[in-house]
Chains A and B, each alone.
Chain A
């Protein structure tokens, strides 16, 4: 394969058209990321395609990625020639039909759009807020997500029309790898995968190591439950990642790069593969790129579902076709990694930051954020919050702003309790500390960590002991089993948490003693696991327990000594009674009870024999008349 000629710059008029600043026919944009499809965008797309008004006007239908406002998916945008683009949320086929009939024909508007996208030369709509004024978007600063939801992820030209691959070509022509490493180091960009190691320094280690072959690996094995930033970026703007990878690979001198991506993300894999093919075709990847003598190929490797493979050394072993069990460091991967060669592993978000970082320069990037944490951070906001979605804020923004301003607070008039940040390695932050700025150090001080960016909001109905148990159960299953503190320690911590939440009647032998010693043992064990584990997974495994213990010790005590769950989540600690006035004797609960604790004649109110009940809660879900009372 010989060098390909890079496509020439886009003609300005064509670029405007691709940016949809000037459209000649109505354009209909539908968000078909995984969350959009899950909410029903597929049916909307089908309905729009067959709509007579759409066919009559020759409207163009474009599938875009996710703009980030998951709570209002599926989203449908309409742009008429000469007018600003409008966005409608929670669209179903019926609503899509009324909206489009109104906009493409003469009908009246059924309801107001969510917001519009103001742009030069396009006439704005009266009475419709601009996207920048929408409470979800107003506090955000979008670098990584700037194209998500706006461009067709399968079109190289649309990415190029927004400045795509310009920075890659500029770096290639004007900077040496050492200069590039220095620039990134000066910008203060830190790894977005959780650890927060300065990206430029990591590159410099690899760049300075002399070797015949070097590798760049993009870690897209987003295993944290509650995180979906990487998926959305790859689905919505895959070329940004490809360009970022090209820049990073050039900096360290790698001619081969891998994307290690979760197999559970089929759409992201598909879009990324399309983007890679296009980049190869256009000559942005391949041999002798743009006549510079630099070679680069990018290979997609599908992960096979192991949380521990987010750890660098485990990830490398997994690519090599082995069990993904971490090994002791040093040697660090930057010195000896994949196939024994120097390897740099960066997270998707770290790499996706690069095109923008190079464009605005190290100083421009360093101007964003706080003293120790520069730039922005993408969070996946979910749980008990009104506007779930993907949020990118400047470092140093307070968590309260993210949860209340962007997320719209806790719905249903419930009281906010805590926000879980950083996944299974992170911790919970209570309401009292919600004004904490988002940066690596402040979060660590509170016993949490930045992690990859999952933010799960919890309200008064969530039990913190149950949350700790949930994470311990996850970590205990995902521990690779190589080192004993993590394998046995996490298991024992889980057992203690189970003892705390077990029904009094199922306690045997020393279980009561174990329960009373619970908190002390948990703290001791956590210390040992933290100190003695081999890899990051083990060292951070106790965090969810420690942070909930730190802020919600009263809940633990209520479970241990009071034998009750204040939030009413731990089913085994509740007691059940049937309301005779509501029960119609349908016997559903009787059939579901595993211990025959429910008695009663058919069509007569049933009763629960308390001495037999093991508090499994089956009767509550079985009852169709809400006659089982829980206390």
Chain B
């Protein structure tokens, strides 16, 4: 991440309007700034919007986008869309899971990798597809996907 992390208070200060319709955009902004939605952030949001934390969690857990634990340094998204599926993304996903020793939605203990399954990344022409920190890698198979992750690990170790 670049630059200092924006605090929840700073984000809230930029949104003086306290309508309910701002809840999801605020959650998105918090997640964008901090990588995940922490318990503290939910409490602060609740105080700002006048909503109990339970309501906020009710909304946040409904949507796939929100995460409640920090991301790894390399965030790996595996596309499981239809086109990727018929081109063998299940095998890619299994290989990645085995290599990282992670289940979908988890972050490694050392904080290096986190793994997420997404419904569709919307670049079906390049299936099967994985995305590491926002960078797309199209036409992967089990071996080349693991190779990409190995390269990330080497990069982290040499840095």
Chain A contacts to B: CB under 8 angstroms: 34-35, 37-39, 70-71, 73, 222-228, 231, 262-266, 301-302, 304-307, 318-325, 380, 382-384, 388-390, 420, 423, 454, 456-458, 462, 467, 470-471, 474, 478, 480, 592, 617-618, 621
**Within 8 Å CB of B85, what residues of A?**
225, 467, 470
CB distance from B158 to the nearest CB of A (A): 22
Q: What class of interface size applies to chain B in its complex with A?
A: 35 or more
CB distance from B75 to the nearest CB of A (A): 13
CB distance from A245 to the nearest CB of B (A): 19
**Within 8 Å CB of A224, what residues of B?**
120
Contact in complex: A318, B119 (CB < 8 Å): no
CB distance from A394 to the nearest CB of B (A): 22
Contact in complex: A226, B83 (CB < 8 Å): yes
Question: What is the bound-complex CA distance between A353 and B23, given in angstroms?
Answer: 33
- Indicate whether B52 reaches chain A with its CB closer than 8 angstroms: no
Q: A320-B20, A388-B124 are in contact. Are A462 and B86 (CB under 8 A)?
A: yes
Q: A225-B82, A226-B81, A324-B62 are in contact. Are A301 and B120 (CB under 8 A)?
A: no
**Within 8 Å CB of A462, what residues of B?**
86
Question: What is the bound-complex CA distance between A380 and B123, given in angstroms?
Answer: 10
Question: What is the bound-complex CA distance between A304 and B137, given in angstroms?
Answer: 23
A-B contacts, 25 of them at CB < 8 A, read A34-B122, A38-B136, A39-B126, A39-B138, A71-B125, A73-B125, A223-B120, A225-B81, A225-B82, A226-B82, A228-B122, A265-B122, A302-B25, A305-B65, A306-B62, A320-B20, A321-B21, A322-B59, A384-B87, A389-B125, A456-B124, A457-B86, A467-B85, A618-B98, A621-B142
**Within 8 Å CB of B129, what residues of A?**
38
Nearest neighbor of B22 in chain A, beta-carbon distance = A321
Q: Mark B73-96, 1 if CB is under 8 A from A, else 0.
A: 000000011111111000100110
Q: A228-B123, A467-B86 are in contact. Are A621 and B58 (CB under 8 A)?
A: no
- Indicate whether B42 reaches chain A with its CB closer than 8 angstroms: no
Contact in complex: B124, A226 (CB < 8 Å): yes
Contact in complex: A383, B86 (CB < 8 Å): yes
Contact in complex: A382, B62 (CB < 8 Å): no
Nearest neighbor of B136 in chain A, beta-carbon distance = A38
User: 17 other contacts beyond A37-B136, A38-B138, A226-B83, with CB at 8 A cut-off?
Assistant: A35-B126, A38-B126, A38-B137, A225-B80, A225-B82, A264-B118, A264-B120, A266-B134, A304-B27, A304-B66, A320-B20, A321-B21, A382-B127, A384-B87, A456-B124, A467-B86, A471-B82
Q: A263-B65, A304-B66 are in contact. Are A383 and B136 (CB under 8 A)?
A: no
CB distance from A30 to the nearest CB of B (A): 16
Complex interface residues of chain B between 1 and 28 (CB less than 8 A to chain A): 19-25, 27-28
Question: What is the bound-complex CA distance between A318 and B28, given in angstroms?
Answer: 13
**Within 8 Å CB of B19, what residues of A?**
321
Question: What is the bound-complex CA distance between A71 and B125, given in angstroms?
Answer: 6
Contact in complex: B123, A323 (CB < 8 Å): no
Contact in complex: A225, B91 (CB < 8 Å): no
Contact in complex: B95, A621 (CB < 8 Å): yes
Question: What is the bound-complex CA distance between A304 and B136, given in angstroms?
Answer: 20
CB distance from B142 to the nearest CB of A (A): 5
- Indicate whether B33 reaches chain A with its CB closer than 8 angstroms: no
Q: Determine which of B83, B122, B137 lies in contact with A222 in the assembled complex, contact meaning CB atoms within 8 Å.
A: B122
Q: A318-B24, A383-B82 are in contact. Are A264 and B122 (CB under 8 A)?
A: yes
**Within 8 Å CB of B91, what residues of A?**
621
Q: Determine which of A305, A382, A458 lies in contact with B63 in the assembled complex, contact meaning CB atoms within 8 Å.
A: A305
Question: What is the bound-complex CA distance between A380 and B137, given in angstroms?
Answer: 19
